[in-house]
Amino acid sequence: MPFVKIGDVAALPPGQVMEAEVAGNAYAICNVNGELFALDGTCPHTGGPLGQGTLEDGRLICPWHAWEYDCRTGANDYDESLKLASFPVKIESGDILIDIP
């Protein structure tokens, strides 16, 4: 599938997360020390909006109940078998692009 533009890289400084919606699906885009990662934006616990969460030491923290996920792998910090879907990310001409199904 082609990459889809979801935002401007200047709007996502290191240590921040942003929420993006494409075709009715939510995504969380994490900037970990200048490296971008895209994850499913809905927490499997109770549906919290992960793109509205926070980042701490490379972990995405759900704003509703503080469930944590590794931004690099999508794995839950407590149960590594519970993983968020992850998506390829690239930057072109200052735009953040993600490859989604």
pLDDT in tens, the chain (101 residues): 689 999 999 999 999 999 999 999 999 999 999 999 999 999 999 999 999 999 999 999 999 999 999 999 999 999 989 999 999 999 999 999 999 88
10 phi/psi in degrees, rounded to 5: -65, -20
Q: Tell me the two tokens of residue 63.
A: 């704003």
Pick one of 3.30.1280.10, 3.40.50.1370, 2.102.10.10, 2.60.40.10 as the CATH number of 14-89.
2.102.10.10
Picking from 12, 20, 68, the residue whose alpha carbon sits closest to that of residue 40 is 20
